[in-house]
Amino acid sequence: MSESLRTRITVGLALLSVYLIWGSTYLGIRFALESFPPLLMAGFRFLIAGTLMFTFLRLRGTPVPTHRQWLGAAVIGAFLLGGGNGGVTFAEQWVSSGLAAVVIASMPLWAALFGGLWKRWPNRLEWVGLMVGFAGVAVLNLEHDFRANPLGAIVLFGAAISWAFGSVLSGHLQLPKGPMSSAAQMLVGGVLMLALGALSGERITALPSARSAAAFGYLITFGSLIAFSSYAYLLRTVRPTLATSYAYVNPLVAVGLGVLLGGEKITAVGLIATLIILGGVGLVAMGRAGVRVRVL
């Protein structure tokens, strides 16, 4: 098998992982929160996953990251896992898993804006996509869950912004090579969230239910070890537009699973906002890919 074919297969499997697995983790987080406090749950999730991956890589002879690489991993881990995943986990105490996925789907819009910090400003088509996408965000704020729980909405949008900035910044910092980058980010992000959870007074006072424990195990194995590592690989290997294309699929998977397995409902407002946001994200992706569309 040629190297190019092997790379294409690996990229395809990584995309399938972030498309489907990450879409399902939103409901997994909701089930885990039935027994665990949010920040401690997220912290233990990534600390355990990071420790397992770090140990496995060291046994295979992968070198320990340098001080500079640890610093880069700490910064990216803080934005992606602390602000991004931690924010989602915290907000899902009040907001449905499907709506949480819709908000995070706006991430490529923020990433397009942050590209300007490195002189990569949006072109005309991307600006149109940004306006369409943020119009969808405005519509989404009319959704009952957000009006009833403004703190959850604020934290969720902050999570999308943090994830977007971390994704863009990852291309400009020195990080460990290969899977060790994911392991280092998960270790640092896990410790950060455990510290924040302890400082905020979170405690685990009882044994988790079977469903919460199963969800927690699923998040560690599939959401962290497999899907997060796949995303880190995509950021290193393919165009950012392709790496962040999971934003189209995750909301559909999350909303479908939330309705089928979680008893959640999607309102007309939420559905309309989802379609508008995904339309805006699609225009941004077309602009990044250089697709020529006449804009009046």
Predicted pLDDT at 290: 54
Q: How remote is the C-alpha of 264 from its chain's centroid?
A: 21
For residue 79, give its domain range.
3-95+151-262
Rounded Cα–Cα distance for residues 50 and 182 (Å): 7
Least confident interval from 154-168, 224-238, 275-289: 275-289
**Which pLDDT band holds residue 52 (cuts at 50, 70, 90)?**
very high
Question: Two tokens at 111?
Answer: 């990433």
The conformational region for residue 139 under phi > 0 = left, psi -120 to 50 = alpha, else beta, is: alpha
Of residues 274 and 49, which shows the higher confidence score?
49
Other C-beta atoms lying within 10 Å of the C-beta of residue 171: 12
Q: 193: Cβ–Cβ under 8 A, 6 or more apart, which residues?
A: 39, 40, 42, 43, 46, 81, 82, 86
Inform me whether the pLDDT recorded for 224 exceeds 60.
Answer: yes
Percent pLDDT > 70 in the chain is: 96
Domain annotation covers residue 275: no
Domain annotation covers residue 187: yes
Domain annotation covers residue 146: no
**What is the mean predicted confidence (pLDDT) over 80-90?**
94
Domain annotation covers residue 235: yes
Domain annotation covers residue 270: no
Rounded Cα–Cα distance for residues 264 and 42 (Å): 22
Each residue's pLDDT tens digit, 107-157:
888 888 888 777 777 778 888 888 998 898 888 878 777 777 888 889 999
Each residue's pLDDT tens digit, 269-279:
888 888 888 88
Q: Is 173 exposed, middle or buried (0-12, 13-18, 19+ CB in 10 A)?
A: middle
Domain annotation covers residue 138: no
Question: Two tokens at 200?
Answer: 């905020």
Rounded Cα–Cα distance for residues 243 and 235 (Å): 6
Of residues 296 and 30, which shows the higher confidence score?
30
**Which pLDDT band holds residue 1 (cuts at 50, 70, 90)?**
low
Q: What is the mean pLDDT of the chain?
A: 87
> Per the structure, how many domains does the chain have?
1
Domain annotation covers residue 273: no
Domain annotation covers residue 119: no
Inform me whether the pLDDT recorded for 294 exceeds 60.
Answer: no
**What is the mean predicted confidence (pLDDT) over 83-88?**
94
The conformational region for residue 201 under phi > 0 = left, psi -120 to 50 = alpha, else beta, is: left
Rounded Cα–Cα distance for residues 213 and 228 (Å): 20
